[in-house]
Amino acid sequence: KKEAGQRRVDFQENCAEIASYGDDKEKVSILRAIRNSEQSAREFRNIAAALGKTKKGLSQVVLTNPDGTETILTDKESMDNALLSRNYRHYGQANETYFGA
């Protein structure tokens, strides 16, 4: 386990060497990309672990009325209807363009 860090570095350098076809500048660029990608993946794993499992359904939907006030819906049927009407309006916008036809 003590050697894991060095083995990972060796593996990255080997991958970069193969991908660069002997070009040292390209190898440096590839190594940097590999390390950045792995760092990003580690950071997002840490964020996911910190947040924990949050797979819950909606408990409420907040609607903004035309006069600026808010209405909070908590029962399933009214939340479903509100979300369906919003999605119909929102995703139906492309129907009037060449892309939505």
Q: What is the pTM of this model?
A: 0.41
| pLDDT digits 0-9 by tens, 43-54 | 998 888 888 776
Residue 98 confidence (pLDDT) = 66
Say whether pLDDT at 101 is over 60. Answer: no
Taking residues 37-47, report their average pLDDT. Answer: 89
SS percent in the chain: helix, strand, coil, step 5: 65, 10, 25
Q: Can you give the length of the chain in residues?
A: 101
Q: Is the pLDDT of residue 67 over 60?
A: yes
Q: Quick: pLDDT tens for 74-92.
A: 999 999 999 998 888 887 7
Q: Using alpha carbons, list the distances in angstroms from residue 101 to 21, 59, 96.
A: 47, 36, 7
**What pLDDT is recorded for position 17?**
78
